[in-house]
Amino acid sequence: MTLGLDVMTVRKLDTFRRKHNISDYERAHTISDLEAEEMIGLAVRLRQEIRPWLAQNHPSLTPRR
């Protein structure tokens, strides 16, 4: 099962993953403040989408409040 993310979201996640790897292992400070804000926004959006999906498909993994 997957979340059924659109192609653009998957590409954006992959781009962020690659940039993260470069900044961790090759060069520091390769991610701009704007890119960091965009990454945070995407993470927030995905978290909002994942919670209902988890509740429906894997209730035992649903975070408790």
- Give the pLDDT of the chain (65 residues) as one tens digit per residue: 467 888 998 898 888 888 776 655 555 666 788 888 988 999 999 999 888 888 888 899 887 76
**pLDDT value of residue 44:** 93
**pLDDT value of residue 19:** 78
DSSP code of residue 64: P
Say how many CA atoms lie within 13 Å of 13 toward its Cβ.
11
DSSP 12-31: HHHHHHHHHHHHHHT-SS-S
23: CB partners within 8 A, 6+ apart: 29, 30, 31
**pLDDT value of residue 13:** 87
Q: Name the packing angle between helices 33-57 and 7-25 (round to 10°).
A: 120
